[in-house]
Amino acid sequence: MSIGACPVPRAETERVLLGHGSGGQLSAELLREVIVPALGRAARTGAMEDGALIQVDAHELVMSTDTFVVNPRFFAGGDIGSLAVHGTINDLAMMGAMPIALSLALVIEEGFPIDELRAICQSVGEAAVAAGVQVVTGDTKVVGHGDADGLFVNTAGLGRRLAGACPSATRAAIGDVVLVSGPIGRHGTTVMSTRIGLDFESDISSDSQPLHRLVEAMVAVAGEAIHVMRDPTRGGVASTLNEIAEASGVQICLEETAIPVPPTVAAVCEILGLDPLHVANEGCLVAVVAPEVADVVLAAMRATPEGREACAIGRVIDADAVRVVMSTLVGSRRIVDMLIGEQLPRIC
Hey, which residues between 28 and 57 contact a copy of itself (CB under 8 A)?
Answer: 30-31, 34-35, 38-44, 47-52, 54, 56-57
Tell me: does residue 82 bind a copy of itself (CB under 8 A).
yes
Q: Rule CB under 8 A: say whether 198 interacts with a copy of itself.
A: no
- Report the site for a copy of itself in 256-285 (rule: CB under 8 A): none
Cα(344)–Cα(71) distance, rounded to whole angstroms?
10
Q: Which amino acid is at 86?
A: H
Among 201, 270, 292, 295, binds a copy of itself (CB under 8 A): 201
Contacting residue, 112, 223, 304, 311, with a copy of itself by CB under 8 A = 112
**Short-list 89, 46, 62, CA closest to 165:** 62
- Identity of the residue, 198 or 311, whose beta carbon is nearer to a copy of itself in the bound complex: 198
Q: Is 199 in the site for a copy of itself (CB under 8 A)?
A: no
Taking the complex as a whole, the smallest distance from the CB of residue 297 to a copy of itself amounts, in Å, to 26
Is the separation of the CB atoms in 78 and 148 below 8 Å?
A: no
325-348 per-residue burial string, b: 16 or more CB within 10 A, e: under 16? bbbeeeeeeeebbbbeebbbeebb
* CB nearer a copy of itself, residue 66 or residue 231: 66
Distance of CA 58 to the CA centre of its chain: 28
Query: In terms of CB distance, is 148 or 258 closer to a copy of itself?
Result: 148
Report the site for a copy of itself in 113-172 (rule: CB under 8 A).
Answer: 113-129, 133-144, 146-149, 152, 154, 156, 158, 160
Burial class for 292, CB neighbours closer than 10 Å (0-12, 13-18, 19+): exposed
- What is the C-alpha separation between 91 and 28, in angstroms, rounded? 17
Minimum CB separation from a copy of itself for residue 17, in Å? 6
74 near a copy of itself, rule: CB under 8 A: yes
Work out how close the CB of 172 gets to a copy of itself at its nearest, in angstroms, rounded to a whole number. 21
Q: Which of 24, 78, 183, 210 forms a contact with a copy of itself (CB under 8 A)?
A: 78
CA-based nearest residue to 67, from 25, 99, 23: 23
Cα of 8 vs its chain's centroid, Å = 35
Pick one of 109, 255, 309, 337: the residue that binds a copy of itself (CB under 8 A): 109
User: Applying CB under 8 A, what is the total number of residues that bind a copy of itself?
Assistant: 111
Contacts of 227 (CB under 8 A, 6+ apart): 167, 168, 171, 172, 173, 176, 288, 289, 290
Which C-beta is closer to a copy of itself: that of 38 or that of 329?
38
**Which of 106, 108, 107, 100 lies closest to 136 in space, CA to CA?**
100
Of 101, 311, 312, 340, the one binding a copy of itself (CB under 8 A) is 101
Q: Which stretch binds a copy of itself (CB under 8 A): 59-67, 173-181, 248-256, 322-330?
A: 59-67
Q: What's 71's DSSP letter?
A: S
Q: Note whether 152 and 107 are within 8 A (CB).
A: yes
Q: Are 78 and 206 in contact (CB under 8 A)?
A: yes
**Is the CB of 125 or the CB of 291 nearer to a copy of itself?**
125
Residue among 97, 98, 104, 238 that touches a copy of itself (CB under 8 A): 104
Strands 324-327 and 251-255: parallel
Using alpha carbons only, what angle is made at residue 33 by residues 30 and 37, rounded to the nearest 5 degrees? 115
CB of 69 to a copy of itself, least distance (A): 5
Q: How far is the CB of 338 from a copy of itself (least distance, A)?
A: 16
Which lies closer to a copy of itself via its Cβ, residue 192 or residue 336? Answer: 192
Q: Does 312 bind a copy of itself (CB under 8 A)?
A: no
